[in-house]
Chains A and B, each alone.
Chain A
């Protein structure tokens, strides 16, 4: 009798947790009929925000891959004093409050910031432009990619890299023909993770880039604005982001489980790697 009561309580707790996680998402789709949600998406506010979101996220993601991949490979394959410190520097923006990331960007690239005068002299102004959105998004989203990519590269058997070298391939050829294809699943998963994070960026963006419609107003910022003006439009954008998030989550899971040469399952979506 006592055991069945325990089981019932356990089951009830699990059900509450599950419902709590699912309900907000379900609610977005139940309040307004789907047909109306689709029609609301043609609203100018939405299309403007969608364009800004897609452009900024695409550019940021390209930069993250271009610069983050070499950094991750370097940190995964070299052992040197200070490596743990550098890994921590990479991970820091993950735990940083977005508002702090935003003010940090101001302090670095704002008019009166660290590089402000340099940028000024070059005629460049970052804050409140699309570039500012890209900066904010890249800063907050790149650690997710770099962290996952480090784990993916670490999982590549060092013997395979060594074999490639003894077979006459230099470091560059070894990277492109051995390390990159073998770590591909983990890299794709990291890209999907950081893409999702980039698409949802709010705090750092609103501080560093503002919320200028058609210029820096991304979907999350538009949702926030429409929230008090036109709740149904805000909901429509929310629904759109839910669908994109589901797609990203699925692609992440697929790239991890069906990447044929994944050496181990070690590169599952554990965001923080071991400290060693």
Chain B
């Protein structure tokens, strides 16, 4: 499989985008809005010129600022799927797909299950159908790399789950270097083998999704991947333990070693919740009022003081979390990560 390599700098309004990235299979760049994610795609597609650096696909140079080289978008083998899909409103589905290339149109219409919509105009389609047309159109060009800008954000919550599964299967079957940008870590983790966290134009961490969860490089990555982050002051103890006095006064323990100002990272699914004080193997116990109970699929997210815990819907019912009151949240010292705080 060919590989895309992008290594460039681009001055944006309030910060500089600076990125070194190799895309061999599926990479997702995830970050808050305004982090420069779309600009990355625009530079690779040739819709924006970087200030410095190079972009190449499998040895074919698309941009080389130092050598004064810039290939216009129509000369790059790139398939870009826009956030709002950017389907041509004056063309039918078939004409939209054929715009990218005429040879494989029937194939693609069949493959993306849009053959029955061939004569329809984009505005008659649902969100999921529009996305399939946009993908078919991008692939009609036989691109060497596929770029997806927030592929799921234009969909309502209901269709999003289904489309995500479809998209994931599709990308697996494509065998094309693919770069996805999204603001949703869950989407990134579901769609890509490698996830990079982009904040204010800088790549904070890049790795397998589970690696970002288990070893976040900094507090931002931790909170972005859905972890609790408790701030406090760390001191080393005997037995290889570290004690952290939290800003709220409680003391918790971690098997990670650190000193000074740290963030304690705990994942919601590593936090147990009980109505009574249990003396178990979990070293860390935080008592607090239940402030919110939010169902997420078959699980329930419970907010207890500074912590979010995730329990099964059955447990939530058994513990009668919905009625509020004081509960005990516990987690093991081995379930925590300490990250330095600047």
Please report A residues at the B interface, Cβ cutoff 8 Å.
157, 159-160, 162-170, 177-178, 181-182, 260-261, 263
Contact of B45 with A160 in the complex, beta carbons under 8 Å: no
* With A159-B82, A159-B84 as contacts: A166 and B73 at CB distance below 8 Å: yes
Expressed in whole angstroms, the minimum distance between the Cβ of B72 and any Cβ of chain A is: 7
- Assembled-state Cα–Cα distance A224/B73 (Å): 57
Residue in B47, B80, B88, B140 whose beta carbon sits within 8 Å of that of A178 in the complex: B88
Please report B residues at the A interface, Cβ cutoff 8 Å.
45-47, 72-74, 76, 78-80, 82, 84, 86, 88-90, 99-101, 137-138, 140-141
- Assembled-state Cα–Cα distance A177/B141 (Å): 17
Nearest B residue to A159 via CB reads: B86
* With A166-B47, A167-B99 as contacts: A261 and B74 at CB distance below 8 Å: no
* With A164-B99, A165-B73 as contacts: A260 and B80 at CB distance below 8 Å: no
Nearest A residue to B97 via CB reads: A167
Contact of B74 with A170 in the complex, beta carbons under 8 Å: yes
Give every chain B residue within 8 A of A160 (Cβ-Cβ): 86, 88-89
Give every chain B residue within 8 A of A162 (Cβ-Cβ): 45, 47, 73, 80, 82, 86
Chain A interface helix/strand/loop/mixed: helix
Contact of B137 with A181 in the complex, beta carbons under 8 Å: no
Contact of B72 with A170 in the complex, beta carbons under 8 Å: yes
Contact of A181 with B90 in the complex, beta carbons under 8 Å: yes
Nearest B residue to A174 via CB reads: B74
Give every chain B residue within 8 A of A165 (Cβ-Cβ): 46-47, 72-74
Contact of A168 with B141 in the complex, beta carbons under 8 Å: yes
Residue in A166, A169, A177 whose beta carbon sits within 8 Å of that of B78 in the complex: A166
Give every chain B residue within 8 A of A260 (Cβ-Cβ): 89-90
- Assembled-state Cα–Cα distance A166/B41 (Å): 11
| A to B CB contacts below 8 Å, 10 in the list | A159-B86, A160-B86, A162-B82, A163-B80, A165-B73, A165-B74, A166-B74, A167-B100, A177-B99, A182-B90
Expressed in whole angstroms, the minimum distance between the Cβ of A161 and any Cβ of chain B is: 9
Give every chain B residue within 8 A of A166 (Cβ-Cβ): 45-47, 73-74, 76, 78-80, 138
Give every chain A residue within 8 A of B76 (Cβ-Cβ): 166
Give every chain A residue within 8 A of B80 (Cβ-Cβ): 162-163, 166
Expressed in whole angstroms, the minimum distance between the Cβ of B39 and any Cβ of chain A is: 13
Residue in A167, A168, A182 whose beta carbon sits within 8 Å of that of B89 in the complex: A182
Nearest A residue to B101 via CB reads: A168
